[in-house]
């Protein structure tokens, strides 16, 4: 019996990453009074990416130049707020050992950098003529950005809810 137990223990798979010092160190450190800045700031680029697509659709439907102007503002602010959100996320990724060591956090980084490049391209393209830019490429780009922001946000949520990264272990 004792021999069987020993054998069972010997067969157990050991994850070398889980043995690393700081593996369980996953609390958010970039925040105000323990309230994580990344979680607070991502709402803005997510909402503005949707607003840009919405304004493009309304321009397509109505032909009103107002919507083209709304879309270029939404595209620009989505990009700038996205950069700010990305900066808080990157600080968390690099400074918290338990986040830095998990590949899922780096996957989120790669998806987010793709998103930021697309948001920047969408804004830059419109700066050369925000009304003419919408049909067809502007609206196609903003529609695609909605898909990528959904994937980014969904994956970020997994980091928090499944891996419990950036959460407080406090009281």
Residues in touch with ligand HEM (CB under 6 A)? 28, 36, 38-39, 42, 45-46, 82, 85-86, 89-90, 92-93, 99, 105, 108-109, 112-113, 115-116, 149, 152-153, 156-157, 159-160, 165-166
Q: Whole-number minimum distance, CB 159 to ligand HEM, in Å?
A: 4
Helix (H) or strand (E) holding 56: helix 43-62
Which residue, 73 or 163, is less far from ligand HEM as judged by CB? 163
Q: What are phi and psi of 31, to 5 degrees?
A: -175, 180
> Residue 80 corresponds to which tokens in the numbers above?
């700038």
Which residue, 74 or 99, is less far from ligand HEM as judged by CB? 99
Q: Whole-number minimum distance, CB 68 to ligand HEM, in Å?
A: 24
Which residue, 119 or 134, is less far from ligand HEM as judged by CB? 119
Contact 38, 28 (CB under 8 A): yes
Q: Whole-number minimum distance, CB 14 to ligand HEM, in Å?
A: 25
Which residue, 60 or 121, is less far from ligand HEM as judged by CB? 121
Neighbour tally for 20: CB within 10 Å: 14
Instruction: Give the residue from 71, 161, 164 showing the smallest Cα distance to 119.
Output: 71
Q: Whole-number minimum distance, CB 9 to ligand HEM, in Å?
A: 34
Which residue, 37 or 139, is less far from ligand HEM as judged by CB? 37
Contact 36, 30 (CB under 8 A): yes
CA atoms of 92 and 81, how far apart (whole Å): 17
Distance between alpha carbon 169 and the CA centroid of its chain, in Å? 23
Q: Whole-number minimum distance, CB 53 to ligand HEM, in Å?
A: 14
């Amino acid at each position: 019996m004792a021999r069987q137990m020993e054998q069972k223990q010997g067969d157990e798979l050991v994850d070398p990453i889980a043995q690393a010092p700081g593996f369980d160190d996953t609390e958010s450190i970039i925040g105000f009074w323990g309230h994580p800045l990344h979680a607070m700031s991502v709402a803005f680029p997510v909402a503005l990416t949707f607003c840009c697509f919405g304004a493009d659709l309304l321009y397509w439907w109505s032909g009103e130049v107002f919507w083209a102007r709304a879309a270029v503002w939404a595209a620009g602010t989505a990009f700038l707020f996205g950069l700010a959100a990305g900066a808080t996320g990157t600080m968390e990724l690099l400074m918290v050992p338990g986040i830095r060591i998990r590949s899922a956090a780096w996957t989120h980084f790669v998806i987010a950098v793709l998103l930021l490049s697309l948001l920047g391209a969408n804004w830059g393209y419109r700066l050369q003529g925000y009304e003419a830019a919408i049909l067809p490429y502007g609206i196609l780009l903003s529609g695609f950005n909605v898909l990528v922001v959904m994937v980014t946000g969904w994956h970020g949520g997994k980091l928090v809810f499944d891996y419990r990264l950036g959460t407080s272990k406090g009281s």
